[in-house]
Amino acid sequence: MWKILVYASAHVSLVRTSPQLSDSYTGPLKETFNDITRSLLEECSFCAKVDAVDIVPSLSTKTFLNKYAYTGRPVLVTNDKSFGRSPGFDFEFFKNLSKAKQLKTCQFFRYKTKFKTLDDALNMDQDQATLKPGYTPWYIGWNICDNKTIDIVKERIDIPSFLPENLAFPNSKIWIFIGTPGNGAPMHLDKVKYPSWQTQLSGSKKWTLQSPPKCIFSCRKHFEVTVHAGQLLILDTNIWYHQTKTIGQNISIAVSGEYK
Ligand SMILES: O=C(O)CCC(=O)C(=O)O
Ligand SMILES: [Fe+2]
């Protein structure tokens, strides 16, 4: 059986434009081949027609639901009307929540920093937090999953205007990513339950997206898109490999949630 599989998968790589064995051949090899090809085509259909990340000024709920929400097609929205409700949503805000013991998290990403916990990170040296010359660079992320904290934070969040409220926050989690220029998250694939939106609240961040290696013959491999303050990205982080890097001079702050 393994021989058949090896043989069949070798052929999958060779026949991208004609994914069928000769019509005159029937038998187990053809079935296996067709199964593998069909499942690869299905699994790669989300990226097969993506030439670049779509960039649109705004989205209606209808377009969001029909074209992007569940197709895996990423989109950058540059001028969504939700933006601007949360001017005080910054490092100090989280630092104060942390001091008041109101910031409960389920997951903390320290990335390249040495901070052991989110409280440690938010308690960093003031010069480091405010990017004074000579500061040590940092980039961190975390997930707020405590309902009380979520309610406090939600009041200040810019949920995309086109996202129906009953689809937002299916699992009551909010993600925050903050850091200094030149830093970000390494290339990875997530295992969260749903696709995500992420709003850039300040600074700018370059995203690099990659389609899965198994889609090498169906999809473009590499995409880049820069998200500036006031813009938001819709991305299924479970199917797109992704990496980020803060660019420009300012601290990058972004808030993210899933939708079902
Ligand atoms: O914003 C970032 O730097 C990383 C975000 C990320 O990995 C995610 O939303 O899954
Ligand atoms: Fe991620």
Residue 88, domain CATH: 2.60.120.650
pLDDT digits (tens, 9 = 90+) for 163-219: 999 999 888 789 999 999 999 999 999 999 999 999 999 999 999 999 999 999 999
Same-domain pairing of 128 and 139? yes
Binding site membership of 185 for ligand 1 (Cβ less than 6 Å): yes
Same-domain pairing of 53 and 27? no
Same-domain pairing of 58 and 39? no
Q: Which atom of ligand 1 is nearest to the CA of 139?
A: 3
Same-domain pairing of 88 and 206? yes
203: alpha, beta or left? (left if phi > 0; alpha if psi -120 to 50): left
CA of 74 to the centre of ligand 2 (A): 14
Instruction: Give me the domain span that covers residue 67.
Output: 45-258
Same-domain pairing of 89 and 173? yes
Same-domain pairing of 251 and 123? yes
Same-domain pairing of 244 and 175? yes
CA of 249 to the centre of ligand 2 (A): 23
Same-domain pairing of 17 and 137? no
At CA 101, angle to CA 104 and CA 257, rounded to 5?
Answer: 30
Count of structural domains, the chain: 2
Q: Which of 73-77, 100-104, 235-239 has the lowest mean pLDDT?
A: 100-104
Q: How far is residue 36's CA from residue 105's CA, in Å, rounded to a whole number?
A: 41
Binding site membership of 211 for ligand 1 (Cβ less than 6 Å): no
Q: Which atom of ligand 1 is nearest to the CA of 192?
A: 10
pTM: 0.86
Quote the DSSP letter at residue 43. H
Same-domain pairing of 49 and 69? yes
Same-domain pairing of 149 and 196? yes
pLDDT digits (tens, 9 = 90+) for 104-133: 888 999 999 999 999 999 999 999 999 999
At CA 250, angle to CA 247 and CA 251, rounded to 5?
Answer: 95
Q: Which atom of ligand 1 is nearest to the CA of 256?
A: 9
